[in-house]
Structure 1
Amino acid sequence: MTTMKGAARDARVEIVDLFGGSGGWDLAAQRLGLPVIGIEADHAACETRRAAGLDTVEGDVRAYRPADFPTATDLIGSPPCQPYSIGGKGAGRRALDAVLHFAGQLSARRDIRAGLATLDDERTSLVLEPLRWTLEALDDGRPYRTVMLEQVQSVLPVWEAMAAILRAEGYTVVTGRRNAEEYGVPQTRVHAVLVARRRDEAALPAPTHSRYSRITSQDGNRDLLPWVSMAEALGWGMTRRPGLTVAVGTGAGGPDPSCVGGSGSRVALYRERDAGRWITDTRPVGADAVPSYRGGRKDMIRVSVADAAALQTFPPGHPFRGTRTKQYEQVGNAMPPVLAEAVIRRAMAAELSARTGA
């Protein structure tokens, strides 16, 4: 286990991932040769990270500050999405005005801890942690050269408020929505992304794959790669569209593989299957295989942890730890590594080019 003090002394650390989770951002950074360490409060997710060889600090991000990681030059953050998700209770959406107010207070360097304690869901305030870290690093005289943030699309107003604050502090900033399937992720999920740069122009990655549409074919845009279907990614499932968003929640038939909205999205899966736009899961039942039905009901569609991870573009065999429910949570909460790599590669193009000499 990597300790906080050990991490702070580690001269290899370049990126701090404030909400490390099961490692979506960190796997991407590693693939690009960028040393990264993740802070994560959930024990099961930390066990997953350690099993995957990812540097980890187990603890609450609010208990740390930039000075604890003095060699870090860049910052990543995907705060918990549940308060803001359409499929959740909506505490974040109801508190959006308050969150934006607190962002303004942070920009004025005021202590907002007492105010944050009044929010209904304590996770709601975590969306402000990347701003706190960025401003503290600035005030410490060691500003982050790159800040990369991601969340569900309902958080975009928060990112836009942060963008205005960071521009006033000398950053160039871009924000926007990015569709996962446009980067080769075999699912339709919209991500709100912010990229800030200290030394040059910030930019978001251009799509590499076509955007999914029910009324156009998979290769509708000849200038881009075709989007990846669920069946192509898993060997079973929908053949004429990507998978629906991997959700965190569970239901009577097992974890819901569909997009937020629950039963309505399951109907979409059944509709595709009943229309024949489907490949049946014929894998044998065993320790590493989950049938697409449960309790003898062969009409029940179910996605295993490994299937959900594949739809999120985790590498095969990523060692998820904890209960099955915890494993599904880790998958559903993650930034898809393929999308994360596209964001990092574009945002940090200058540094990556310098490393390779290109």
Structure 2
Amino acid sequence: MHALFAGPGGLDHPAHTLGHPTLGIELDPHTVATRRNAGLPTINADVRHLTIHDLPEATTLTAGPPCQTYSVAGTGTGRTALTALLHRARAMAARRTLSPADGLDERSLLVLEPLRWILDAADEGRPYRAIVLEQVPQALPVWQTYAELLTTEGYSVACGILSAEQYGVPQTRRRAVLVANLYDVVALPAPTHRRWPPRPGDEHLLPTVAMADVLDRGEDFTVVSNYGTGGDPKARGRRHSSEPAFTVTGKVSRNRVLDADGRDLPRFTHAEAGALQGFPANYPWTGRDIPQQIGNACPVPLGAALIHAATTPAAVPA
């Protein structure tokens, strides 16, 4: 498995556990150190400077590329950028000579790197059998265009927005995802756990995993979010330890943790923040910016569900 923008291993750690050999490409040297200490084979490089010829052949591609928020709100700048980006994607799929970057910055263009790898592999006669992509919800229009283009390339594709807590992740987090397979019909993974807050119709699913289920603190606690509600820093959201965490971000260590009497407890350790993303408690977080490494990762249980969905034929109604 080739893992582009591999991060600390949110996708290839579960892939390795599921028996898929992995090779990650990651630019940040501190994240690379974490990966290597976790036993994940890694190339410390910029994916833009590599091609499929630089890596051993693989049947699966995963990627969680950085993606700017192409909002449809505001001045329309986001819509213009998104239009140019999707036009470029279609030109790539048509194998047309690309024009200059159409005013798109380098970071925006990173979301098209997986498409370059997919098309190059197909053109070289060594196509990826399975594909998994994930990013923030605002990336969904990009994945929808990928779906259109990959269908033309012969793939079965499914994409949409999933809620991480419905796959056993002890936090609420929404992600835009895509799964594809060249030879088998695929579908998005079916939820295994209830949504949060609870909603009618989920009673047949497993209960939502709470913070207390994965953190051994020995007492109830309440987390006060680092983010203000409605822009008001005094209106901080709160979650009890019997509930899933807020979305884990690079600022997770700033969240206050209070006991039942409102007194401050120690804030989340790196191991605890990682556990809220589904990583093992002993995951070897290494180097600087560890909260950012953790916050940028795909939650491990969600990654496992996506890889299984991409590599296992979907049930087809009779």
Query: When the two structures are superposed, what TM-score results if normalisation uses the length of structure 2?
Result: 0.82
How many Å separate the matches in 2 of 1:91 and 1:300? 43
Contact 1:84 1:93 in 2 (8 A): no
Counterpart for residue 16 of structure 2: 30
SS in 2 for 1:267: strand
How many Å separate the matches in 2 of 1:321 and 1:49? 9
Q: 1:134 aligns with which of 84, 104, 118?
A: 118
Counterpart for residue 198 of structure 1: 182
Contact 2:194 2:205 in 1 (8 A): yes
Task: Letter of the 1:162 partner, please give it.
Answer: Y
Deviation at 1:69, TM superposition (A): 2.4
How many Å separate the matches in 1 of 2:44 and 2:157? 30
How many Å separate the matches in 2 of 1:44 and 1:262? 32
Task: Letter of the 1:221 partner, please give it.
Answer: D
Q: 1:207 aligns with which of 191, 198, 201?
A: 191
SS in 1 for 2:88: helix
Counterpart for residue 267 of structure 1: 236
How many Å separate the matches in 2 of 1:134 and 1:47? 27
Q: 2:295 aligns with which of 332, 335, 338?
A: 332
Counterpart for residue 232 of structure 1: 213
Q: Does 1:39 align with 2:4?
A: no
Counterpart for residue 251 of structure 1: none
Counterparts in 2 of 1:304 and 1:141: CA distance versus 1, 3 Å: same
Q: Which runs of 5+ in 2 are unaligned?
A: 244-254, 314-318
How many Å separate the matches in 2 of 1:79 and 1:183? 22
Deviation at 1:35, TM superposition (A): 0.2
How many Å separate the matches in 1 of 2:78 and 2:11? 23
Identity of aligned residues (%): 45
Counterpart for residue 312 of structure 2: 349
Contact 2:279 2:300 in 1 (8 A): yes
Aligned residues: 296
Q: Which runs of 5+ in 1 are unaligned?
A: 1-14, 245-255, 279-289, 351-358
Counterparts in 2 of 1:214 and 1:171: CA distance versus 1, 3 Å: closer
Counterpart for residue 316 of structure 1: 281
Counterparts in 2 of 1:329 and 1:111: CA distance versus 1, 3 Å: farther
SS in 2 for 1:188: coil
Contact 1:84 1:91 in 2 (8 A): no
Counterpart for residue 223 of structure 1: 204
Counterpart for residue 149 of structure 1: 133
Deviation at 1:94, TM superposition (A): 6.2
Which structure shows the bigger proportion of residues in helix conformation? 1
Deviation at 1:68, TM superposition (A): 2.1
Contact 2:221 2:257 in 1 (8 A): no
Counterparts in 2 of 1:158 and 1:85: CA distance versus 1, 3 Å: closer
Contact 1:202 1:347 in 2 (8 A): yes
How many Å separate the matches in 2 of 1:16 and 1:265? 44
Counterpart for residue 150 of structure 2: 166
Equivalent residues in 2 for 1:61-80 (5 A)? 61-80=47-66
Contact 1:229 1:239 in 2 (8 A): no
Q: Does 1:189 align with 2:170?
A: no
How many Å separate the matches in 1 of 2:155 and 2:234? 40
Deviation at 1:264, TM superposition (A): 6.2
How many Å separate the matches in 1 of 2:30 and 2:89? 31
Counterparts in 2 of 1:164 and 1:199: CA distance versus 1, 3 Å: same
CA-based RMSD of the aligned residues comes to 3.4
Contact 2:12 2:22 in 1 (8 A): yes
How many Å separate the matches in 2 of 1:236 and 1:37? 35
Counterparts in 2 of 1:328 and 1:143: CA distance versus 1, 3 Å: same
How many Å separate the matches in 1 of 2:79 and 2:115? 19
Deviation at 1:70, TM superposition (A): 4.1
Counterparts in 2 of 1:222 and 1:214: CA distance versus 1, 3 Å: closer
How many Å separate the matches in 2 of 1:162 and 1:238? 47
Name the structure, 1 or 2, with higher relative contact order (CA <8 Å, separation 6+). 2
Q: Does 1:98 align with 2:98?
A: no
Deviation at 1:203, TM superposition (A): 1.6
Counterparts in 2 of 1:263 and 1:319: CA distance versus 1, 3 Å: farther
How many Å separate the matches in 2 of 1:21 and 1:85? 22
